[in-house]
Structure 1
Amino acid sequence: MSELPPPASADTSGPSAGKAAHHHGNLRPALIEAGLGILIEEGLDKLTLRRCAARAGVSHAAPAHHFDGVAGLRAAIAQEGFRIFRNYMLDARNNAGADPHARLRAICRGYIYFAVDFPDLFELMFNNKVIKDVTSLPAQPDTANGYDVLKDSCAPFVAPGTDPVVVESQVWSLVHGFGSLMQTGRFGGLSPDDPCGPLFAPVMALLDQLPVYRDPQSGA
């Protein structure tokens, strides 16, 4: 499993990091980090406000000042999950070169790597109720959920005068469906040497059939 990145707003540098920082405005990110740890190590059923408080080293009443019950905590964790998820796709794409098809396959690979590394977080993030709760949180930039990476990667395949959502939905449906089926064990066991499984390449080969309408490097 990949090492879990710290929450975006957490200060993990210097001797003041940790419990002492909880008294200086950093309790919320500390609780989110604790919740992520519980979710990843023990599963969604073990994720409670009380357990997060204990893991963060604060009183069991402290989370109530930052979250509207366990639903609010889950939404905040999902929001942080989307940040990590986006970075997975970006990292994969940044190593894919300039070819539009290679870049598109790369973000799909990053998508699946995330689902494999954080299965419970992946399930939480795409829960319909949790998604609605995430949208009720304070406004986030357009880059908050990773859709911008999908949109940019699909742009070369959008025919002039057509709705880009069509291609974006085709790609998203393919990769998310593949990831969801992997979560059920539909494709058998996973190998550390091949996290996406043997069917990933032939299934994602469908994306190679998408015609390229513009060069993403030139913007034309």
Structure 2
Amino acid sequence: MSSEKPKDRHHHGNLRAALIEAGIALLTEGGLDALTLRKCAARAGVSHAAPAHHFDGLDGLRVAIAEEGFDRFRRRMLAYADAAPQTPRDRLFGICRGYLAFARQEPALYDLIFSFRANSRMIEDLEEGSAPSYMVLRDSCAPFQPAGADPVILETQVWSLVHGYAMLILTGRFGDTSARDEEFLAVLDRIIAPPLSP
């Protein structure tokens, strides 16, 4: 029988990352209600007291998972944009396809990052539009901003359209709508098109 203690399985600063991954796995399997510090510690193979060394309670773990979730979300959008033809329109559409792909492929993590509320700089950054994931949207919308207009207006229109569609997909309102995505995204053309001259 091995005398190795559970905590010895993680070293050189990897325990925090292991706990976050364990938390994401619990979310994926059972939703937000399945996420507890004790379950997370057990999943990572460490003592139930170990998370306290890395997170300020369950809220601290949720913040850390949400930060990882937003980073994955940002990378997914950029991957789709980088795979698209490199025109402003195609990059914007790529961002939106990546947004929908993330929502479909990681629904529990998506739900957490957009429903979690905490007194954290990460959430404040998102609300202020300075979070890295929001900057992906901002940069993609920039070529379509009307002169002199507040950029938040167009960004909010695009974000609301895609986020609302994603939420309706996840709640089962449309069933499997992947075949309709392109038809839906075509609505973006009406948002980003310059206004007709009088």
Same fold (TM over 0.5): yes
Alignment of 1:1-220 (within 5 A): 20=8, 22-130=10-118, 132-133=119-120, 135=122, 145-188=132-175, 190=176, 197-209=178-190, 210-211=192-193
**Inter-partner Cα distance in structure 2 for 1:116 and 1:57:** 29
> Does the aligned pair in 2 maintain the 1:75–1:134 contact within 8 Å?
no
Structure with greater proportional helix content: 2
**Inter-partner Cα distance in structure 2 for 1:204 and 1:20:** 49
Range with greater deviation from structure 2 (44-53 or 80-89): 44-53
**Inter-partner Cα distance in structure 2 for 1:40 and 1:71:** 18
Using the size of structure 2 for normalisation, the TM-score is 0.85
In structure 2, the residue corresponding to 1:161 is in which secondary structure? coil
**Inter-partner Cα distance in structure 1 for 2:149 and 2:97:** 26
**Inter-partner Cα distance in structure 2 for 1:66 and 1:52:** 12
What's the CA shift for 1:43? Answer: 2.1
User: What amino acid maps onto 1:198 in structure 2?
Assistant: A
> Does the aligned pair in 2 maintain the 1:39–1:121 contact within 8 Å?
yes
What's the CA shift for 1:24? Answer: 2.6
**Inter-partner Cα distance in structure 1 for 2:84 and 2:189:** 15
What's the CA shift for 1:151? Answer: 0.7
User: What amino acid maps onto 1:200 in structure 2?
Assistant: D
User: What amino acid maps onto 2:183 in structure 1?
Assistant: P
> Does the aligned pair in 1 maintain the 2:141–2:154 contact within 8 Å?
yes
Identity %: 55
- Specify whether residues 98 and 161 from structure 1 end up closer, same or farther in structure 2 by C-alpha distance, changes over 3 A only: same
Q: Aligned-residue CA RMSD in angstroms?
A: 2.4
Q: Which residue of 1 aligns with 2:3?
A: none
> Does the aligned pair in 1 maintain the 2:9–2:45 contact within 8 Å?
no
User: What amino acid maps onto 2:193 in structure 1?
Assistant: P
Which segments of 5 or more consecutive residues in structure 2 lack a partner in the other structure?
1-5
